[in-house]
Structure 1
Amino acid sequence: MNRIRELAGAEFEDADAELKSLIMASQTEGDDLDDGSEWEDTSSDPDESNSGDMEVDGAVQKGSTDSQKDPNDISEYQLDTYDDEEGGVASGPFSNMKWLLSHDGDDPYVTLKEDEAQEREEAEIYPTDNLIVVAKVEADVAQMEVFVYDESKDNLYAHHDFMLPSFPLCIEWLDYQPNAPSTSKTGNFIAVGTFEPEIEIWSLDTMDAVYPDAVLGKLEKTQQRGPVAAKPNKRKKAGKSNDSFHIDSVLGLSWNKAHRNLLASASADKTVKLWDLSGGSGSSAIRSYNIHQDKVQTVHWCPNESTVLLTGGLDHTLRMFDTRAPTSVVGVKLNEEIEVLRWDPWDPSGFYVALKDGSVRNFDARTLSGKMDSAPRFNIAAHHGSALGLDVNPHLRGCIATGGHDEIVKVWDVKTNATTQELDVSMVASKELGVGKAFSVTWSPDDPLTLAAGGSTGKLQVWDVSTSKDAFRTFKSKLYEAGKEIELRIGKSEVIGVDDDDDDDENDDDADPTSAFGM
């Protein structure tokens, strides 16, 4: 409740101010309130205002003026004999209300049961639906929004949302329930990193949730800071480094799909930490790695070697190490800050790096050494400005998507040259999706040529790349090899978004800015 009170404090203040303004407005229109906070009825005939008489059940009761009457005296309404009517004929002060009806069964005009059934049907998630989780900030209010994408109907809509205590910076989906054995039933959970040092884990299967299922790295009372201010730059300064929990913002998260109870986190406190989710709320980190000299921006588990972590920091270095032997660290020194790292699920030793200068590079992990001087297998200038989003297609080998500061989302084809055995990269499709600076791009887990993108405008868009003739022609052979039999979707909507109910706000110079931080 304290958490909700802090989050909704500003809304309560606005509601109170609005209520006071409405009361003042009603008073200026002549609707005055007396000292007893009761409305004074002046609509009666002035000739009868001082009579002191009241008609009750057709009889005129002689009485004193209002000032002499006992306000607690209700005998004139004859409530003691209200149920003593003969022949079922109603009497009393409400006897003239013949329009009042009663029903022995269900009222045919009451449709609450039908409405409830319709709401349940709308809230149901079908096996053909995809869930897209978006971290969003709007008018200094941080929240998570869960969208449903129905590909068969080209329908994308917001399903439910919940509020966050601070600005979100990264999210990671997992199916492991916190504080449960590793063999427990799976579910839908989302881990959230914010400007706060704690990591929150929310259940996506619970609508209208008000508190996370678990909070990792919760600070002791003597070390806790106050609630995060509305603006990130007003946060209190981080404390002394600690191996049990983060002391600064959480910038990156990665869930281990092989060891489902393990979650890795990267932080602005220059550390990478390992968490055991079976401990539940308040758990301390089971490992802490100090391998960077600056903020650690991103972290990713290797899909083929389940104990190997890849990390990238603002110190221009990427590091790779086995969590069981953290002293044997290898990596490479780059000339720019690292934005995103992604292992290639099709290549046991390959991974991609997106940098602040807009370039995207591919490395072979086998060439990394302690000298930090490994050369990339390819280096492409993908975007003007930072390359902010990067994802590798889980269905098609050599298909990647990138998003950048230039507000463009691009799809690339990476293949091995038969003659030189080097990697050749070509851009297959590019599109400005209207999401602003493309912070995040993610391939669909079901459809091989559908991706979602979110950015600085706060909008979510789904792009069906198969509607592009060039893209379909390029990936046709790879689709056949992967057993993904799809056709060129001519006439299908190329980009699917959510209808904006506040279209007028787009031209409003005073409208609050909106930012999406991840998906």
Structure 2
Amino acid sequence: MATKLNFVSCVAWVRQGVAKEIPDRIQLTQEEIRSKIESDRQKFKELKSSNQNEHMETDESSSQVDRNDEDRQIIDRYNLDDYDDDDNDDDFFVPDDTAADTYLNREQNYSDDEEEKDDFRIKPTDNLLLAGHVEEDSVSLEIKVYNKEDGVYVHHEIYLAAYPLCFQWLNFEMENEKRNLVAVGDMNNDINIWNLDVVDILDPVAVLSGHKKSVLDLSWSEKASNILASVSADKKCLLWDLKQQTVVQTFDQFKSRVQSVSFHPLETNILLTGDAKGHAKLLNYQSLSIKDWKVCQNEVEKVAWNPQEPYMFLCATSEGWLYGFDCRNDNSPLFGIKAHDEMISGMEFSSANNGCLMTTSADQNVKIWSVSSKEVKSIQTIQPNVGIILSMSANPDHSNIFAISGDNVGENIKILNLDTYPAVKRQFNLC
């Protein structure tokens, strides 16, 4: 019997003050819950079977290697072939006695205990932290509440039918009301949009269908709030009109899977992408112009704009290199540095500290950098002990707070406070 998995594949923050203080709550019967879980279980089994069949076809026919390799590397990254690989044919837990489960028993109301009521209430000073959690026989989106004074706890969760690969928070208007939403890209082809202000929700509020393979990254800009960008293993970048829930622009000039996408912080018609052939592309979805940089011979895993120097972008690679470029010219990189021993899995700037960049890697290390167009300087190396680091997100309200996740069964998610590292405090004059 293979070892069960327990990892968090992706994390994302929700800023303070947007969540409902008292979330809505759907009243469900036990039969509705069981039916939904069984439906997701079946979808999950079909997806897993399809991926296994593609792997077998790849072994039998070399002509299919390129086609199947796109999804194959995702499966290998998370060791999904070994997931639940035992005699039990059920991939999702379906409860036999929902009355014995306090979460599934919808007849049970919250008690009058003041502490429990306070935990359910989301305060204006709280952030939400979203975590894509795979644990033994369940896949879920955990909605956690974080407060610097009180720590973090799980508020509620949403059951998912496939491994989540990326999150993008959306504060988008639906039905004449701004909603607190998250778009989830996963190993299925669709993008599911969930309402974070509803507890016990069973279905997404919208499904965006257009990609043919796994959705690997998402980007949204509040300056163009009706537009969502997505990239996929199908070698495409799609732009979605969220109001109409349709594709309004397709970029298909890629030779391999597109792994990262980011809206420019000021120019809302500009997108930056990174692909598995080592290219970074600047896409203008108004003029339809494309600018291309050959970054490396391996894969570009992550791209990011420097918010303090918005003409500057960074690329992180599958071999652990970090490159900086000036988008105004086609010259060689501003810098290139071997930042990690293995693939860089996360790269984000602090929300406020000038030039403060955090990178995470499959080498299980976190590094803090001081970055400008003139230099990149290593400030701190951290070993957070969350295993292979799979995802990272910078808190939008607390510039010193980052969340990271990994595949350590004992501790797969951790919040890092840069205030606790003297070298970082000195470099960025942290309070």
Q: Distance in 1 between matches of 2:93 and 2:230?
A: 36
Matched, 1:387 2:352: no
Question: Structure 1 residue 112: deviation in Å?
Answer: 7.3
Is the radius of gyration larger for structure 1 or structure 2? 1
Q: 1:292-318 CA deviation, whole Å, 9 max, x = no partner?
A: 011111111111110011111112111
Summarize the alignment of residues 101-500 of structure 1 with structure 2, pairs less than 5 Å apart: 114-115=111-112, 119-153=116-150, 155-178=151-174, 180=175, 184-217=176-209, 245-279=210-244, 283-326=245-288, 328-333=289-294, 334-368=296-330, 374-415=331-372, 423-457=374-408, 459-476=412-429, 479=430, 486=431
Amino acid at match of 1:203: N
Distance 1:295 1:3, change over 3 A: farther
Residue identity over aligned pairs, in percent, reads 32
Deviation at 1:265, TM superposition (A): 0.5
How far off is 1:136 after superposition?
2.0
Give 1:432 deviation, angstroms: 1.1
For residues 262 and 385 of structure 1, the distance between their equivalents in structure 2, rounded to whole angstroms, comes to 34
CA contact (8 A) 1:255 1:263 kept: yes
The one-letter code matched in structure 2 to 1:151 is K
Is contact 1:177-1:189 (8 Å) kept? no
- Give structure 1 regions of 4+ aligned residues with deviation exceeding 4 angstroms: 11-17, 111-114
Residues of 2 paired with 1:357 and 1:265: CA distance?
24
Deviations 1:8-67 (A, max 9, x none): 5638887569xxxxxxxxxxxxxxxxxxxxxxxxxxxxxxxxxxxxxxxxxxxxxxxxxx
Give the Cα separation in 2 of the matches to 1:443 and 1:297: 19
Letter in 1 for 2:391: S
SS at 2:139 equivalent:
strand
- In the alignment, is the contact (CA less than 8 A) between 1:255 and 1:264 conserved in 2? yes
- What per-residue deviation string (whole Å, max 9, x for no partner) do you get for residues 411-447 of structure 1? 11124xxxxxx62222212211121112222222122
The match for 1:5 among 20, 33, 38 is 38
TM-score, structure 2 length as denominator?
0.74
Structure 1 or 2: more strand by fraction: 2
Structure 2's unaligned 5+ residue stretches are 1-31, 43-89, 98-107
SS of the aligned residue for 1:325 comes to coil
**TM-score (ref. length: structure 1):** 0.62
CA distance in 2, matches of 1:16, 1:112: 21
> In 1, Cα distance between the equivalents of 2:96 and 2:199?
28
TM-aligned CA deviation for residue 117 of structure 1: 5.9
Distance 1:331 1:410 in 2: 28
Could you tell me whether the CA contact under 8 Å between 2:237 and 2:252 is conserved in 1? yes
Distance 1:11 1:266 in 2: 28
CA distance in 1, matches of 2:379, 2:323: 17
> In 1, are the aligned partners of 2:92 and 2:138 still within 8 Å (CA)?
no
Q: What's 2:54 paired with? A: none
Shift of 1:7: 2.4
Q: Taking structure 1 as reference, are residues 185 and 6 closer, same or farther at Cα in structure 2, changes over 3 Å only?
A: closer
Q: CA deviation at 1:116?
A: 6.9
Aligned residue for 1:366, secondary structure, equals coil
Contact between 2:277 and 2:297, CA under 8 Å: does it hold in 1? no
| Maintained 8 Å contact 2:367/2:382 | yes
C-alpha distance in 2 between matches for 1:3 and 1:248 = 24
CA–CA separation in structure 1 for the residues paired with 2:91 and 2:255: 41
C-alpha distance in 2, partners of 1:12/1:144? 14
The correspondence of residues 39-54 of structure 1 with structure 2, limited to 5 A, is: none
8 Å contact from structure 1 (residues 3, 165) kept in 2: no
| d(CA) in 2 for partners of 1:429, 1:134 | 26
* Helix, strand or coil at the partner of 2:223: coil
Q: CA deviation at 1:118?
A: 5.0
Aligned residues: 338
1:466 partner SS: helix
Unaligned residue ranges in structure 1 (runs of 5+):
18-110, 218-244, 369-373, 416-421, 480-485, 487-519
Rate the CA distance shift 1:156–1:113 in 2: closer, same or farther, 3 A: closer
Q: Relative contact order, CA 8 A, sep 6+: which one is greater?
A: 2
